[in-house]
Amino acid sequence: MKYKYTAKYTQIPSGYMGQIIEWQDVITEGENLSECRLMLEDALKEMILAYQQQGKTIPLTNDVIEILSVEVA
């Protein structure tokens, strides 16, 4: 089964912190954005497997998330 989630990356002093918006327990850090992205993907896969093994409901969403840009004079 294919799952879709929204990742959020925040620059921190040690590199980047990555978090899944819909599943805030899935969070990790990396020295750069590429490393953080890979680690977040791995953390998400591991969390899904753990939930499946424990018979827990995997958080899903049908939300539409978009970035809005506005210019204010």
- Per the structure, the complete domain to which residue 27 belongs is given by 1-73
Q: How many domains does the chain have?
A: 1
- List the CATH number of the domain containing 35: 3.30.160.250
Contacts of 60 (CB under 8 A, 6+ apart): 3, 22
CA distance 29 to 27: 7
CA distance 43 to 19: 10
Per-residue pLDDT of the chain in tens (73 residues, 90 and over written 9): 788 899 999 999 999 999 999 999 999 999 999 999 999 999 999 999 999 999 999 988 777 777 788 999 8
pLDDT, residue 54, reads 97
